[in-house]
Structure 1
Amino acid sequence: MSENNTRILILGVGNILYTDEGFGVRVAEELEQRYEFSPNVTVLDGGTLGSKLIGPIMEADYLIVVDIVLNEGKPGDVFRLLGDDLEKACAFKNSMHQTDLLDTLAQCSLMGEVPDEVILYGIEPVNYHDMSPALSPELEAKLPEVMDVVLKEVEQAGGSYSLRTDTNPAQEKIYVPRDTSQNS
């Protein structure tokens, strides 16, 4: 794997107990389970931690966030957002998160450390109101696509990855598995 000094943080955020609201966390879980990353890449299940993410965010040079967004698209539409578009999409208050991403980034800025690059891969949800650990079938089907764009972003930022094998299994345990039986 290549070595690079750019510290890359892949941050999946959301609440896995509310259907599609957990999409970002599910992407982070899948990436961690399937791939081993170069030492400069960290994959983090940010859940609904809000301001508790300040430390990991401040330590990153390149932040890739995965979350649901209400961006006036069709359910399942994937958006790569940054700058003003990121601010508009993250400003919605229908999230289950304790503190929205913009507030957390603003707090990092006040402390003098924000990543050089902040990219949000947002997906338009189908259902983020019902309580269920299962993603909607539409978003379940989008997991591979979003994982692919995140992996390309990692490579572009100077990180690398390889598929996990029996000799390098994931160390992270998934405590609330997706119930994919509801998606059949």
Structure 2
Amino acid sequence: MPEKDTRILILGVGNILFTDEGFGVRVAEDLEQKYQFSDNVTVLDGGTLGLKLMGPIMESDYLIIVDIVLNDGEPGEIFRLLGEDLNKACAFKNSLHQTDLLDTLAQCSIIGNVPDEVVLFGIEPVNYHDMSAALSPELTARLPQMEALVLDEVERAGGSYALRTDKNPATEKIYVPRDTSRNS
């Protein structure tokens, strides 16, 4: 399959109401607001939808997931997990969405339609217990680095992107804006 035909899904998962737990969703929101992607790239706020994500996942060839992971790293440490490392991370419940995400990928596999490539960009959280729409300052500072890693992965997979301008503004609305007055 030519790279231009590779259907790429950027999936940000998490719960934006629990501080760093919403990191993956915030990355997806930022990418959608800042960049216009080639037609073969979809950016999706997967929230905590679990099995409801089967359709978009099965329709993709290259899945890029952004989430927080508990991987015994330093707060703000970023991990790129794939293949056996991704399986181990899910098996050992390193991701806070491992059950939903693992079940969803397993169901897609049973049906016989999983993406050819699955990459998880995980980040070690600081705070995922407190109820707040704000990210911790440590994870807020890592947003640009995570976004750059995802953009590099998109290019590696055969997608492209351009900065949005006044002529191509984002059409997605952010319904729960990040609260920047807390956690600072």
Work out whether the TM-score is over 0.5.
yes
**How far apart in 2 are the matches of 1:90 and 1:46?**
17
**How far apart in 2 are the matches of 1:89 and 1:161?**
30
**How far apart in 2 are the matches of 1:165 and 1:23?**
25
C-alpha deviations, 1:64-105, integer Å up to 9, x for none?
00000011111100000012211222342773x494211110
**How far apart in 2 are the matches of 1:138 and 1:65?**
20
Q: Secondary structure at the match of 1:180?
A: coil
Q: Which runs of 5+ in 1 are unaligned?
A: none
Partner of 2:43: 43
**How far apart in 1 are the matches of 2:55 and 2:165?**
31
Segments of 4+ in structure 1 off by > 4 A? none
**How far apart in 2 are the matches of 1:117 and 1:111?**
17
C-alpha deviations, 1:124-173, integer Å up to 9, x for none?
00001000000000000000000000000000100000000011100000
How far did residue 53 of structure 1 move? 0.2
CA RMSD of aligned residues (A): 1.5
**How far apart in 1 are the matches of 2:98 and 2:62?**
23
**How far apart in 2 are the matches of 1:5 and 1:13?**
25
Partner of 2:18: 18
- TM-score, L = length of structure 1: 0.94
1:1-184 equivalence runs, <5 A: 4-91=4-91, 92=93, 95=96, 97=97, 99-184=99-184
Q: Is contact 2:68–2:95 with CA below 8 Å preserved after alignment?
A: no
Q: Give the count of matched residue pairs.
A: 181
**How far apart in 1 are the matches of 2:51 and 2:77?**
28
Q: Is contact 2:132–2:182 with CA below 8 Å preserved after alignment?
A: no
Identical-pair percentage: 78
Amino acid at match of 2:22: G
